[in-house]
Amino acid sequence: MYYVKKTIEISASHSLKLSYESKCENLHGHNWIIEICLRSKELNQDGMVMDFTHIKEKIKSKLDHQNLNDVLKFNTTAENIAKWIADQLGEKCYRVSVQESQGNVAIYEVDE
């Protein structure tokens, strides 16, 4: 099994829709740090699990310097964003962590 990990940072704003009162319901921003883990039993024709540049393009180009509420059609919690990122990268992606601020990290892992 081959494994790769790509870390990217994006700057983006969002506001949350919550069932309780919170300052996070107001528009605010983060410098998000995203770790993306992929694996494959076989390498592609270029000898890679997936090109690091392609991973970055698929995610950063859609999210960086955006209001995530305008781009994503769900409540933009770190947990939901992690799942969305995994879905964008397909079956090779098995784990995504999304850090929205120091000490606050959400992780999505695909069940096997």
User: Which residues are designated catalytic?
Assistant: 24, 65, 100
Say if CB 99 and CB 105 are below 8 A apart: yes
Number of H helices, E strands in the chain: 3, 5
Residues 43, 2: Cα–Cα separation, whole Å: 8
Say how many residues make up the chain.
112
Residues 96, 80: Cα–Cα separation, whole Å: 11
